[in-house]
Amino acid sequence: MLAAGIWALTQLIPSPLLVLGEHHVGGGMRWQLTPLLYSFGIAERPLRSFFVSPIARHSGSIELHGSPEWACCAPNDASSWLVRAGLRMYLPLIEHGEVLSWSVGGSYYHALGSSDDGFAADLAMYTLFGGVGFHITASPWLTRRVLILSLNIRHF
Does position 98 interact with other proteins (CB under 8 A)? The reply is: yes
Residue 47 found at the interface with other proteins (CB under 8 A): no
Judged on CB neighbours under 10 Å (0-12, 13-18, 19+), 11 is middle
**Going by C-beta distance under 8 Å and a sequence separation of 6 or more, which residues neighbour residue 92?**
41, 58, 59, 60, 100, 101
How far is the C-alpha of 120 from the C-alpha of 86, rounded, in Å? 9
Q: How far is the CB of 72 from other proteins (least distance, A)?
A: 29
Task: Give min distance, CB of 9 to other proteins, in A.
Answer: 6
Binder of other proteins out of 72, 93, 99, 125 (CB under 8 A): 99
CB of 93 to other proteins, least distance (A): 12
CA distance 122 to 139: 9
Residues that bind other proteins (CB under 8 A): 1-10, 41-45, 53-56, 59, 92, 94-96, 98-99, 127-129, 155-156
